[in-house]
Structure formats: structure tokens, C-alpha cells
């Protein structure tokens, strides 16, 4: 039996991941590949492996695999070895990055979780789908969430700048918008279970990508106005985005 890992490209939410199967049947990825999946370098994975979070999950004695792999598969030439991690470590790394606010990691975790549930329910009800159909659903979930978070970030920066320019209380404006869209202030949202990212940010407790997009659209509209009090501008933004009558 060969001691060299088999190789394949796995597509996850449209992202290519170079994966390997060891002779014992387990799956691994290189540390550098793990970082690339969420736009980080190998140092990010190295820090995670030395963190208290990692040690709590995998224990003090965990050692990365030093696996014989063709360098041409890694883009460097001939046979060599690569520092690798198992796929459960990869997923926990994504979770760690997600809680640190990495939008790509957040989207990957959500998309993978949704696909797992979809597969379980389809199996229970006898629904048969192709791998391509599942991958398309995962891509859609990934894209929807990532775009909503990026739009929200852009719109919030615009809101902060507008409030600073016109001397408005940004927290009051923000609360008025979230109350109108989802019926809760930022403080009330923080009382809910966190979905992704820091617990101190109220919008990280909102599960619906559509709700996040609605809030972002109101903020963008508000930021474009040049006249009126902040309450008048909020009311106008809500009307023009069809959130209020």
C-alpha cells in the first residue's frame, strides 16, 4: 500500500479546496490551503493551532500530519511533505474565524450547515438530488449571506459618516432603523442568541439575510440625504425602501 496521500479537488460553495485522503481513509488539507479558503495565510492557521480555543477542542497533544505529497500538486515541483490538518480541525478553524468577524468564514459555515440539514431532510423524505444540485444550493446560501454582510458593512460606514457630518446621534438613528425593520433596538438584539461574529454587535444576532439587506438599504438611503432632521430622514428612508407606509 502506498504511503502517499491520494488527492482531489473538493468544491465547497464554489471555492476549490485541495484535499487529500490518507491510506487509513481519513481526510486532510494543508495548513496553507486551510488559510486560503477564508483569505488568510498559513500564519493564521498556525496561531489557531496554538490558541486556547484549539487546545480546548483538540487537547494539548494534537500533532499536525506530516504527509508525503507531490510538490507539483502544491505548485512547487517534486515529491515532498506538507504540514496538514484533519477536516474537523479545518471546520473548527472556520468557526473560529467566523466568530472573529471573517465574513467569508461566516458564509462557509452557514452554507455547509444548511447543506447538511438539507441532505438529512431530503433523505428522510426520500428526495433524490444530484451533487450538482446540492452544490448549487450551497453556493446560493454562501453568496446570499456574504453579500448581505458586505452590504451591511458598507451601509453602516455610510451611516456613521452621515451622522458625524450632520451631528446626529448615530446610536439613536441605528435603533430607529432596526426597530422599524425588525422590531428591536441594538440592545434588545444583543439579548438574542448570536448568529455570527462578536456578541456586542446587535446585527450579528440577526439570522435572516433578507432582514440584514433591508436594514442596509435603509441606511444607504439615509446616508444620501442632505436635508431634514434625523427622524425625518429615517422616515423618508423607510418610505423609499417600502418598509413603511
What confidence tier does 63 reach under pLDDT thresholds 50, 70, 90?
confident
> Does residue 137 lie in a domain region?
no
Q: What is the mean pLDDT of the chain?
A: 85
pLDDT exceeds 50 at position 90: yes
pLDDT > 70 fraction of the chain, expressed in percent and rounded: 85
Of 100, 123, 157, which residue is a domain's last? 100
Of 65, 100, 135, which residue is a domain's last? 100
Same domain, 18 and 75: yes
Same domain, 96 and 154: no
Range of the domain at 185: 149-240
> Does residue 155 lie in a domain region?
yes
Same domain, 14 and 96: yes
Lowest mean pLDDT among 2-16, 86-100, 123-137: 2-16
More confident residue, 37 or 190: 37
More confident residue, 76 or 84: 84
For residue 27, give Cα distances in angstroms to 11, 155, 179, 182: 15, 40, 46, 42
What confidence tier does 80 reach under pLDDT thresholds 50, 70, 90?
low
> Does residue 50 lie in a domain region?
yes
> Does residue 115 lie in a domain region?
no
What would the mean pLDDT of 61-85 be, rounded to a whole number?
62
> Does residue 126 lie in a domain region?
no
pLDDT exceeds 50 at position 1: no
What would the mean pLDDT of 178-190 be, rounded to a whole number?
90
> Does residue 35 lie in a domain region?
yes
Of 100, 125, 160, which residue is a domain's last? 100
Choose among 215, 229, 211: nearest CA to 158: 215
Q: What is residue 60's predicted lDDT score, i.e. its pLDDT?
A: 77
> Does residue 142 lie in a domain region?
no
Same domain, 83 and 162: no
Same domain, 10 and 91: yes
- Condensed to tens digits (0 to 9), the pLDDT of residues 190-201 reads 887 665 566 666
Q: What is residue 170's predicted lDDT score, i.e. its pLDDT?
A: 95
- Condensed to tens digits (0 to 9), the pLDDT of residues 125-182 reads 999 999 999 999 998 888 888 888 888 888 999 999 999 999 999 999 999 999 999 8
> Does residue 167 lie in a domain region?
yes
| Radius of gyration in angstroms for the set of CA atoms belonging to the chain, rounded to a whole number | 22
Same domain, 87 and 23: yes
C-alpha–C-alpha distance, residues 149 and 107, integer Å: 9
Domain count, the chain: 2
Amino acid at each position: 500500500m502506498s504511503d502517499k496521500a491520494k488527492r482531489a479537488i473538493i468544491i465547497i460553495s464554489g471555492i476549490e479546496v485541495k484535499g487529500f485522503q490518507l491510506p487509513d481513509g481519513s481526510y486532510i488539507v494543508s495548513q496553507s490551503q486551510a488559510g486560503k479558503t477564508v483569505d488568510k495565510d498559513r500564519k493564521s492557521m498556525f496561531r489557531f493551532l496554538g490558541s486556547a480555543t484549539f487546545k480546548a477542542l483538540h487537547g494539548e497533544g494534537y500533532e499536525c500530519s506530516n504527509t508525503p505529497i507531490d510538490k507539483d500538486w502544491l505548485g512547487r515541483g517534486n515529491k515532498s511533505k506538507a504540514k496538514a490538518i484533519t477536516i474537523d480541525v479545518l471546520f473548527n478553524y472556520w468557526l473560529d474565524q467566523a466568530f472573529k468577524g471573517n465574513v467569508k468564514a461566516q458564509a462557509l459555515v452557514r452554507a455547509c450547515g444548511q447543506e447538511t440539514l438539507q441532505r438529512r431532510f431530503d433523505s428522510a423524505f426520500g428526495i433524490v438530488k444530484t451533487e450538482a444540485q446540492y452544490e448549487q444550493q450551497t453556493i446560493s446560501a454562501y453568496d446570499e449571506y456574504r453579500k448581505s454582510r458586505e452590504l451591511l458593512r458598507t451601509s453602516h460606514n455610510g451611516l456613521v459618516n452621515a451622522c458625524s457630518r450632520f451631528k446626529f446621534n448615530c446610536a439613536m438613528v441605528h435603533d430607529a432603523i432596526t426597530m422599524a425593520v425588525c422590531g428591536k433596538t441594538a440592545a434588545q438584539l444583543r439579548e438574542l442568541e448570536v448568529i455570527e461574529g462578536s456578541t456586542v454587535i446587535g446585527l450579528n444576532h440577526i439570522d435572516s439575510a433578507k432582514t440584514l439587506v433591508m436594514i442596509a438599504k435603509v441606511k444607504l438611503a439615509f446616508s444620501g440625504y442632505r436635508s431634514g432632521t434625523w427622524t425625518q430622514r429615517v422616515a423618508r428612508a423607510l418610505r423609499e425602501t417600502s418598509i413603511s407606509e
